């Protein structure tokens, strides 16, 4: 077992003192200004995430799910409502809600793979030796130890995303946020990384909030799925998907159908491509 | 092959014709085209008069004369060497330096003797010794002013290089402005700038006549080659310069009017007349102080060789003046 | 570990003729031809106007041996380095200010559009009025020639920084100030180096031209003054030796910049050109 809680200052809480939810979103409204008008992206969202849960937020394109993630990360302030992480109302971005973006270019090109993972640790108070050791641990976890001295431009897209995941997890965040991280990858790599993510999250016992528009991905990765409707969006339904059988089972197919129906509710959607699942 | 032969034949014919016309030119009296270059300043008055009165054009109707005013002696020198300028007006210093380095030129007509003044505005600067370590502007490093300054340094401070560290090259208008605004401590200049500076509160620290005696200031030069081709024209040019000088002495009012008109009205007639009659400038074609200057420049290594006599530096029309 | 690529021997098609010769030979031949052309031109124009390659080489060698060229070159270089350093600092400050506030950005844009087009030599008289006739005036003029290219380049670099990595920077807990120094600055490095190269070139031209105008007629002075002096005294080989020195220095600095780039932006795969 990898010892993940090394000595560090300003530890991000993994649990709240009362054992309550790690993330609580209450009647949150989100929008943005274009010229002089305010556009509402999310009309109202309310849900919770418990420790060690893997929650997938799914919805049609443009429904505001990424906006919601960014609000939790602290980049946007909610127009109304409250967001609290481990009991604290979050305002500024911070490593307790480490985020993995969709773009490959989220690594610092002037740092090696190892330093990309170690540097955020140094920023948060770890000594050079600690940071290096921790970084190496997480690179081993993501099977990237052999590439630790390479520069990002020398890596493939899938490898870059794994580095980003390693970096985020090395910070031992309260909750790991992921914004369609596999969306830019090809189908094969995407499948592989989904499996890896499952393994990594299990080993690190992380809490995960994952945004996607792919039903298959939601079913593979998640315990619960929060379905958002069209903009300005609301939470349509929250379903448990943790105890489904494999993709060939009837329950799985039923759930897939249900989600598809939910997502097609407000408008005509093209048939969802079957590219996100394990076959 | 046939085409090649006919091309060669045509070329040969053209060459022969060309040579024939060239040979036919032979000892023409005057060049068909002439460029005369001078610098801004009062000392070039004889040339300005010739320009305004179209003297050359009247004497040699077949000659087209182009008059150029250039900012300093350097482009004039380059122009004479490369053949773009046939007659140039420069100071004695650059003339000597060029001559010593093998530039194939000599003086065709000296324009004037000039007493050049070292001006300062600061009342505390009275003698050469006061100038140690101060900023002094001269036209260029080889100008007669710079040379005289070095002579002054040698005479009063023991070494010709004593003031070198403060020397700056500035052309006359810039130097005057710098002196009057206090940016430099002394300006070694020439008429009319030295007159203007004195009128504006500067005083004379030293005069060049006190160190080189009465000496030539500006001269006109041409190449040996040009003289060889057009000796009659050169002689006529010399006579014209001499005549203009006579005119300046005889009728300064009229000359002042012409100069003022040439300068666009500013400075005025009266000012020009005042300057023209000032004894600091002596309008003569008799070269003076050439050997003395050359001697000093040779001693301080500014030129590499000495002329045997002043006659080596001038063309035959100047010989009768019994110069030095 | 990458798989070995030498298991199958691919042969490149052999180029013909000129392209077949090694690089150094091709450059050498062209260089030799140019030198011969130079020599013929010099002979044609005469020794007072153009020096031959051999005369130039001699004058160059003598100039370095007796230290004249060396000390005057150093004077010029020193002034240039000082001016560029000042320029870079001011540019960095202005750019940081522009990044942190809107007022700063407006100020930077305004100053750049007004002051950038001014050639150094044109503002030299103004500089001399402000600072007097000394080296500070020269430093001022060089600084003005270098600030704006660097400021433009760096602020472009900042503006075009991928917003994702800025978001990452904030996410991992960097303060605003540290985002500038730890994220924006390295991200802008390719632009900064390019701006520095431009600034160096402008500064170089400015100092030489200013020296020709400024014209210290005495015993000190830089490379421009050396060339001017040689011109006055008709020492054409020396003048050419001065020009050759400038050209050689240009090559030296090109190489230095190239090395800097190789060690940083090329290594990181960030080279923009």
Same domain, A179 and A252: yes
CB contact under 8 A, C217 and B167: yes
Residue B232: CB atoms within 10 A of its CB come to 12
How many structural domains comprise chain C? 1
Pick the residue from chain B with its C-alpha nearest to C235: B101
Q: Residue C115 domain-assigned?
A: yes
User: Measured between beta carbons, which residues in chain B are less than 8 angstroms from residue C46?
Assistant: 81
Shared domain for A166 and A184, answered yes or no, is: no
Query: pLDDT in tens for each of the 279 residues of chain A?
Result: 334 444 444 456 665 555 678 888 888 888 888 888 888 888 888 989 999 899 999 988 888 888 999 999 999 888 888 898 888 887 789 999 999 999 999 999 999 999 999 999 999 989 999 999 999 999 999 999 999 999 999 999 999 999 999 999 999 999 999 999 998 899 999 999 999 999 999 998 889 999 998 888 988 898 899 998 888 888 888 888 877 777 788 888 888 888 888 887 545 545 544 444 443
Is the CB of residue C94 less than 8 Å from the CB of residue C147? yes
Chain C residues in contact with B84 (beta carbon < 8 A): none
Q: pLDDT at position A177, please?
A: 94
Binding-site residues on chain B for chain C (CB distance < 8 A): 74, 78, 81-82, 94, 97-98, 101-103, 135, 138, 140-142, 146, 161, 163-170, 174, 178, 181, 183-184, 302
Q: Provide the angle, in degrees to the nearest 10, between the axes of the packed helices B252-262 and B269-277.
A: 130
* Cα C189 to chain centroid, rounded: 16
- Shared-domain flag, residues A159 and A27: no
Whether A65 is in a domain gets the answer: yes
Would you say residue A244 lies in a domain? yes
Residue C235 lies in a domain: yes
> Which one, of A99, A86, A97, lies nearest residue A24 by Cα?
A86
Give whole-number Cα distances, C192 to A111, C88, C132, C157, in Å.
18, 10, 32, 7
Q: Pick the closest to residue A60 from A247, A196, A220, A228 (CA basis).
A: A228
Q: Smallest CA–CA separation between A232 and chain C, in Å?
A: 25
Residues A60 and A195 in one domain: yes
Provide, as residue numbers in chain C, all residues whose Cβ is less than 8 Å from the Cβ of A105: 162, 164-165
Domain termination site, one of A172, A193, A208: A172
In a mutational test of the C interface, the residue from A74, A109, A115 whose CB has the highest number of chain C CBs within 10 Å is: A109
> Taking 70 as the threshold, does the pLDDT of residue C144 lie above it?
yes
* Secondary structure of A236-250 in HEC code, one letter for each residue: EEEEECCCCCCCCCH
Average pLDDT over residues C50-58: 87
Sequential pLDDT tens for chain B (324 residues): 667 776 676 666 655 555 555 544 445 677 888 899 998 888 888 888 888 888 888 888 888 889 998 877 888 888 888 888 999 998 888 888 888 888 888 888 888 888 889 999 888 888 888 888 888 888 888 888 888 888 888 888 888 888 877 788 887 888 888 888 888 889 998 888 888 888 888 888 888 888 888 888 898 999 888 888 888 888 888 888 888 888 888 888 888 888 888 887 777 888 888 888 888 888 888 888 888 888 888 888 888 888 888 888 888 888 888 777
Which pLDDT belongs to residue B141?
A: 80
A156 lies within 8 A of chain C by CB? no
Instruction: Report residue B250: phi and psi, to 5°.
Output: -80, -40
The tally of domains found in chain A comes to 2
Interface test with C, best of A110, A131, A148 (most C CBs within 10 A): A110
Question: pLDDT band at C219, cuts 50/70/90?
Answer: very low
Does the structure's ipTM exceed the value 0.90?
no
**Touching C: A residues 176-235, CB under 8 Å:** none
Indicate the burial class of B143 (C-beta count within 10 angstroms; 0-12, 13-18, 19 or more).
buried
Q: Are residues A83 and A199 in the same domain?
A: yes
| Total beta-carbon pairs less than 8 A apart between chain B and chain C | 67
Query: Residue C153: is its pLDDT beyond 80?
Result: yes
Of C47, C217, C228, nearest to B168 by CB-CB distance is: C217
Task: Give the nearest partner residue to A153 out of C170, C183, C269, using CB atoms.
Answer: C269
Q: Which residues make beta-bridge pairs with A31?
A: A40
Dmax of chain B from CA atoms?
Answer: 87
User: Would C40 be classed as within a structural domain?
Assistant: no
Same domain, A183 and A260: yes
Residue of C173, C187, C191, C270 best to disrupt the A interface, most CBs of A under 10 A:
C173
Residues of chain C contacting residue A146, judged by C-beta atoms under 8 Å apart: 1
Q: Which one of A93, A109, A146 has the shortest CB-CB distance to C170?
A: A93
- Helices A157-170 and A113-123: crossing angle in degrees, nearest 10, is 20
The helix or strand, by DSSP H or E, that contains position B269, with its residue range, turns out to be helix B269-277
Extract the tokens encoding B71. 């900012």
- Based on the domain organization, do A59 and A94 belong to the same domain? yes
Note whether B97 contacts C128, CB cutoff 8 Å.
Answer: no
A86-93 own/partner pairs: CB under 8 Å, 24+ apart: A86/A12, A86/A13, A86/A15, A86/A16, A86/A22, A86/A174, A87/A13, A87/A16, A87/A17, A87/A20, A92/C170, A93/C167, A93/C170, A93/C171, A93/C173
pLDDT score at A13: 64
Domain shared by A190 and A239, yes or no: yes
B231 — phi, psi (to 5°)? -65, -35
A13, part of any domain: no
> For the residues C236-257, what does the mean pLDDT come to?
89
Point out the domain boundary residue: A144, A172, A200: A172
C234 closest CB neighbour out of B97, B135, B165? B97
pLDDT for the residue numbered A262: 84
Q: Contact B169/C220, CB-based, under 8 Å?
A: no
- Residue A126 is assigned to a structural domain of this protein: yes
Q: Return the H-helix or E-strand segment holding C53.
A: helix C53-65
Å between A72 CA and nearest CA of chain C: 11
- Note whether A67 and A183 are same-domain residues: yes
Q: pLDDT value at position C139?
A: 87
C112 touches chain B (CB under 8 A): no
In a domain, C21, yes or no: no
Same domain, A58 and A116: no
Residues of chain C contacting residue A123, judged by C-beta atoms under 8 Å apart: 172-174, 178
Kindly list the residues from chain C whose CB atom is less than 8 angstroms away from the CB atom of residue B163: 218
Contact residues for A222 (Cβ-Cβ < 8 A; gap 6+): A54, A55, A56, A210, A241, A242
Question: Domain containing C240 — which CATH number?
Answer: 1.10.3720.10
Q: Would you state the structure tokens that stand for residue B277, as one six-digit string?
A: 């009659």
d(CA B76, CA C231): 13
pLDDT band of C89, cuts 50, 70, 90: very high
pLDDT band of C1, cuts 50, 70, 90 = very low
Beta bridge partners of A209: A55, A177
Q: Are C173 and A8 in contact (CB under 8 A)?
A: no
Q: How far apart are CA A116 and CA A168, in angstroms?
A: 10
Give the minimum alpha-carbon distance from C170 to chain A in angstroms, rounded to a whole number.
6
Same domain, A195 and A93: yes
Q: Which residues contact C50 (CB under 8 A, 6 or more apart)?
A: C41, C42, C236, C240
Largest CA distance in chain A: 55
The range of the structural domain enclosing residue C187 comes to 66-266
Point out the domain boundary residue: A155, A172, A189.
Answer: A172
Host domain of residue A124 = 108-172
Q: How does DSSP assign C196-262, residue by residue?
A: HHHHHHHHHHHHHHHHHHH-B-SS---HHHHHHHHHHTT-HHHHHHHHHHHHHHHHHHHHHHHHHHI
Are residues A67 and A190 both part of a single domain? Answer: yes
Tokens representing residue C155 in the block: 């602020």
Q: What DSSP element (H or E) covers B204? A: strand B203-207
Question: Which pLDDT score is estimated for A22?
Answer: 84
Cα maximum dimension of chain C: 72
**Would you call A173 an interface residue with chain C, using a CB distance cutoff of 8 Å?**
no
Which domains can be identified in chain B, with CATH numbers? 33-113+215-321 (3.40.190.10), 117-212 (3.40.190.10)
Q: Among residues 100-119 of chain A, which lie with CB inside 8 Å of chain C?
A: 101, 103, 105-110, 119
Distance CA B70, CA A145 (A): 74
């Amino acid at each position: 077992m990898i010892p993940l809680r090394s000595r560090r200052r300003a530890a991000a809480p993994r649990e709240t003192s009362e054992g309550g939810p790690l993330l609580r979103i209450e009647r949150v409204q989100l929008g943005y200004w274009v010229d002089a008008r305010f556009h509402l992206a999310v009309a109202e969202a309310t849900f919770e995430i418990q420790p060690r849960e893997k929650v997938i937020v799914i919805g049609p394109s443009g429904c505001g799910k990424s906006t919601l993630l960014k609000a939790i990360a602290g980049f946007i302030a909610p127009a109304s409502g409250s967001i609290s992480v481990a009991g604290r109302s979050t305002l500024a971005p911070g490593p307790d809600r480490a985020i993995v973006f969709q773009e490959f270019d989220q690594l610092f090109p002037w740092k090696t793979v190892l330093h990309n993972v170690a540097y955020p640790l140094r920023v948060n108070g770890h000594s050079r030796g600690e940071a290096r050791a921790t970084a190496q641990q997480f690179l081993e976890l993501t099977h990237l130890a052999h590439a630790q001295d390479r520069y990002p431009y020398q890596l493939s897209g899938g490898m870059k995303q794994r580095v980003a995941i390693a970096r985020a997890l090395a910070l031992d965040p309260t909750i790991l946020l992921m914004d369609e991280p596999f969306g830019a990858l090809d189908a094969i790599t995407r499948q592989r990384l989904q499996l890896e993510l499952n393994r990594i999250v299990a080993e690190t016992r992380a809490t995960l909030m994952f945004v996607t528009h792919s039903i298959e991905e939601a079913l593979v990765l998640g315990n619960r799925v929060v379905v958002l409707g069209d903009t300005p969006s609301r939470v349509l339904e929250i379903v448990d998907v943790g105890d489904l059988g494999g993709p060939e089972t009837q329950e799985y197919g039923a759930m897939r159908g249900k989600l598809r129906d939910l997502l097609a509710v407000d408008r005509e959607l093209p048939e969802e491509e079957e590219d996100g699942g394990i076959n | 092959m046939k085409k090649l032969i006919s091309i060669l034949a045509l070329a040969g014919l053209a060459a022969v014709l060309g040579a024939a016309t060239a040979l036919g030119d032979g000892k023409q009296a005057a060049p068909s085209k002439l460029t005369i270059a001078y610098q801004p300043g009062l000392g070039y008055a004889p040339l300005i008069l010739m320009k305004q009165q179209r003297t050359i054009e009247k004497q040699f109707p077949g000659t087209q004369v182009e008059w150029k005013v250039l900012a300093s002696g350097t482009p004039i020198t380059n122009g004479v060497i490369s053949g773009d300028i046939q007659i140039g007006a420069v100071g004695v210093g650059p003339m000597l330096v060029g001559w010593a380095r093998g530039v194939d030129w000599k003086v065709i007509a000296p324009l004037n003797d000039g007493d050049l003044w070292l001006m300062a505005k600061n009342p505390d600067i009275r003698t050469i010794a006061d100038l140690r370590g101060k900023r002094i502007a001269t036209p260029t490093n080889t100008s007669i002013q710079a040379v005289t300054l070095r002579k002054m340094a040698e005479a009063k401070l023991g070494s010709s290089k004593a003031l070198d560290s403060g020397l700056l090259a500035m052309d006359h208008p810039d130097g005057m402005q710098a002196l009057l605004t206090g940016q430099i401590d002394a300006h070694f200049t020439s008429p009319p700038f030295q007159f203007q500076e004195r009128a504006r509160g500067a005083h004379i620290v030293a005069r060049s006549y006190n160190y080189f005696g009465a000496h030539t200031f500006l001269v006109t030069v041409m190449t040996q080659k040009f003289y060889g081709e057009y000796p009659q024209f050169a002689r006529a040019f010399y006579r014209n310069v001499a005549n203009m000088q006579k005119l300046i002495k005889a009728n300064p009012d009229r000359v002042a009017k012409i100069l003022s008109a040439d300068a666009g009205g500013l400075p005025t007639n009266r000012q020009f007349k005042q300057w023209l009659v000032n004894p600091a400038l002596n309008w003569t074609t008799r070269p003076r102080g050439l050997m003395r200057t050359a001697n000093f420049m040779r001693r301080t290594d500014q030129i590499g060789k000495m002329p045997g006599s002043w006659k080596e530096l001038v063309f035959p029309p100047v010989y009768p003046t019994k110069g030095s | 570990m990458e798989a070995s690529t030498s298991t199958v021997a691919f042969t490149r098609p052999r180029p013909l003729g000129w392209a077949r010769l090694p690089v150094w030979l091709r450059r050498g031949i062209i260089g030799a031809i140019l030198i011969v052309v130079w020599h013929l031109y010099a002979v044609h124009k005469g020794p007072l106007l153009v020096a031959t390659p051999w005369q130039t080489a001699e004058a160059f060698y003598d100039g370095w041996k007796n230290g004249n060229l060396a000390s005057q070159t150093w004077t010029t270089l020193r002034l240039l380095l000082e001016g560029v350093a000042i320029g870079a600092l001011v540019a960095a400050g202005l750019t940081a200010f522009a990044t942190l506030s809107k007022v700063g950005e407006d100020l930077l844009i305004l100053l750049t559009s007004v002051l950038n087009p001014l050639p150094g030599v044109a503002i030299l008289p103004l500089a001399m009025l402000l600072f007097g006739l000394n080296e500070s005036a020269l430093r001022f003029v060089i600084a003005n020639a270098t600030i704006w290219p660097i400021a433009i380049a760096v602020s472009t670099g900042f503006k075009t920084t991928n917003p994702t990595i800025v978001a990452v920077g904030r996410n991992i807990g960097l303060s605003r100030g540290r985002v500038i120094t730890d994220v924006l600055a390295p991200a802008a490095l390719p632009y900064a180096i390019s701006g520095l190269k431009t600034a160096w070139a402008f500064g170089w031209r400015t100092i030489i031209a200013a020296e020709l105008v400024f014209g210290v007629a005495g015993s000190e002075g830089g490379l421009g003054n050396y060339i001017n002096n040689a011109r006055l005294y008709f020492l054409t080989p020396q003048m050419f030796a001065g020009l050759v020195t400038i050209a050689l220095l240009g090559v030296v600095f090109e190489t230095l910049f190239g090395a800097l780039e190789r060690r940083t932006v090329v290594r990181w795969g960030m080279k923009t050109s």
